[in-house]
C-alpha cells in the first residue's frame, strides 16, 4: 500500500515545499466552527487529504462531541464521505492517499506511528451507504466481528443482545440461520448496525446509511440512531438535510467551490445551524437554493 501519512501539521522544510504551489494551502479555515460542549470524541485539526495529486479535503478542523449525533452535510463531492472515512482509517485502503494534519480520538492520535488500523476499526465501527451483509447467515454476520477479534464469551447472547440493540431481534429471532441477504434493505442495514454493535465499539460511523432505503426503513434507522446516541458517539454523513435536522445534535456543512475542494464552511449545534446559519452559503444550501 502506498500510503504516506503525516500525523501532525508539516513543520519541516520538505513538507512546506510539498505544499507550495497548491492554492489550497493559502486557504483560511472557516471561523464559523463551534466548540461543542462536554466531552470530545474526535479532534480534527488542519486536515488535508489528497487522492494522488487531487486534493479532497482542505484544512478541515472540528471537534466531534462524545455520545452525541454529529451530522456531516453538503452537496456531492464536498468531501463528507472522505472525512468520515478518515476517522477509522478506511482511506488507508485506497492506493495513493496522502493525509496531513491530525485526527485524534480521545487524545490518541489515530494516525500515530504506533497505531494499528485494525485496532482503530475495532473500536470505531462503520455502516456503509449500501447495506453490505456478508453472504452468510444472520447469526454469522453478527458473530463475525467477535470471532475475528477473539471474543471469549457467550456468542449466542452477544448475537441476541446486538440484534436487540439494532431493533432487529423480533423480526429475525426465529430464522437466525437464514442468509443475511434474504432480508429487506432496511433489515439488512439494521443487521449491519447489529454487526458493528457486536464488536462493542465506542463510535459508530454511518456513511449515508439511509440513501438506499425507503422512507419507513429510513425512519427506523433514524429512531435507532437517536437511541444509540445515549451510549455511542455517532457520526453520520447524509445528503438529506431533513435527516440531519431530525437526528443530529451538531451539524457540519462542507462544500467544494471553484478553488477549494472539501472545505468546512460551518459547524454548529444543529438547531443554530438550521435557524441562524452564520454563513450565506450554508443558508443557501439548507434553504435548498443549490446542492
Partner 1 sequence: MSAAETSAGTVTLRAEGGVARRQAWSRASRWILLGATVLGLVVLVILGIDNAIVGIPSLDWDFLANYPSRFAERAGIRSSILGSVWVLVFTVIFAIPVAVGAAVWMEEFAPRNAILTTVRLNIANLAGVPSIIYGILGLAVFVRLLEFGPSILAGALTLALMILPMTVITSVEAINQVAPSIREGSLALGATRWQTVWHHVLPGAMPGIMTGTILAVARAAGETAALIMIGAFTFIAFDPSLSFGGLLDSFTTLPIQVYNWTIRPQPEFRANAAAGIIVLMIAVIGLNALALVVRDRLRRT
95 grid coordinates: 492506493
For partner 1, which is the closer residue by CB, 88 or 251?
Answer: 88
Q: Are strands 203-207 and 54-65 parallel, antiparallel or unpaired?
A: unpaired
Among positions 115-144, residues that touch partner 1 (CB under 8 A) are 118-119, 121-123, 125-126, 128, 130, 132-135, 144
For helices 215-228 and 185-197, angle between their N-to-C axes, nearest 10 degrees: 20
Least distance to partner 1, CB of residue 144, Å: 6
Residues touching partner 1, count (CB under 8 A): 27
Residue 220 touches partner 1, criterion: CB under 8 A: no
Least distance to partner 1, CB of residue 148, Å: 4
For partner 1, which is the closer residue by CB, 100 or 140?
Answer: 140
41 contacts: CB under 8 Å, gap ≥ 6: 64, 65, 66, 67, 105, 106, 202, 203, 233
Q: How far apart are CA 251 and CA 3, in angstroms?
A: 30
Among positions 172-211, residues that touch partner 1 (CB under 8 A) are 192, 195-196, 199
Give strand ranges (E) for the chain.
4-5, 40-51, 54-65, 69-73, 97-105, 108-109, 124-127, 203-207, 233-237, 250-255, 263-269
For partner 1, which is the closer residue by CB, 22 or 51?
Answer: 51
Q: Which of 26, 38, 95, 214 binds partner 1 (CB under 8 A)?
A: 95
Q: Residue numbers of the site for partner 1 (CB under 8 A)?
A: 1-2, 88, 90, 93, 95, 118-119, 121-123, 125-126, 128, 130, 132-135, 144-145, 148-149, 192, 195-196, 199
Amino acid at each position: 500500500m502506498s500510503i504516506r501519512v503525516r500525523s501532525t501539521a508539516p513543520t519541516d522544510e520538505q513538507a512546506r515545499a510539498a505544499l507550495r504551489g497548491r492554492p489550497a494551502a493559502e486557504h483560511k479555515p472557516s471561523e464559523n466552527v463551534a466548540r461543542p460542549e462536554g466531552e470530545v470524541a474526535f479532534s480534527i485539526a488542519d486536515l488535508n487529504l489528497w487522492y494522488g495529486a487531487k486534493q479532497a479535503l482542505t484544512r478541515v478542523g472540528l471537534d466531534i462531541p462524545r455520545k452525541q449525533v454529529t451530522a456531516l452535510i453538503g452537496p456531492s463531492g464536498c468531501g463528507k464521505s472522505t472525512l468520515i472515512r478518515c476517522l477509522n482509517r478506511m482511506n488507508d485502503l485506497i492506493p495513493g492517499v496522502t493525509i496531513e494534519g491530525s485526527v485524534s480520538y480521545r487524545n490518541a492520535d489515530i494516525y500515530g506511528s504506533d497505531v494499528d488500523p485494525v485496532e482503530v476499526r475495532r473500536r470505531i465501527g462503520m455502516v456503509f451507504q449500501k447495506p453490505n451483509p456478508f453472504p452468510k447467515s444472520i447469526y454469522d454476520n453478527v458473530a463475525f466481528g467477535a470471532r475475528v477479534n477473539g471474543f471469549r464469551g457467550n456468542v449466542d447472547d452477544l448475537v441476541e443482545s446486538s440484534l436487540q440493540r439494532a431493533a432487529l431481534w423480533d423480526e429475525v429471532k426465529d430464522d437466525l440461520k437464514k442468509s443475511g441477504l434474504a432480508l429487506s434493505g432496511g433489515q439488512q442495514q439494521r443487521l449491519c448496525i447489529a454487526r458493528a454493535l457486536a464488536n462493542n465499539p465506542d463510535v459508530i460511523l454511518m456513511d449515508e446509511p439511509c440513501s438506499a432505503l425507503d422512507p419507513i426503513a429510513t425512519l427506523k434507522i433514524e429512531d435507532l440512531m437517536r437511541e444509540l446516541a445515549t451510549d455511542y458517539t455517532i457520526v453520520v454523513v447524509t445528503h438529506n438535510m431533513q435527516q440531519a435536522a431530525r437526528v443530529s445534535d451538531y451539524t457540519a456543512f462542507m462544500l467544494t467551490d471553484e478553488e477549494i475542494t472539501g472545505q468546512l464552511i460551518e459547524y454548529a449545534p444543529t438547531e443554530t445551524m438550521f435557524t441562524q446559519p452564520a454563513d450565506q452559503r450554508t443558508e443557501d444550501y439548507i434553504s435548498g437554493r443549490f446542492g
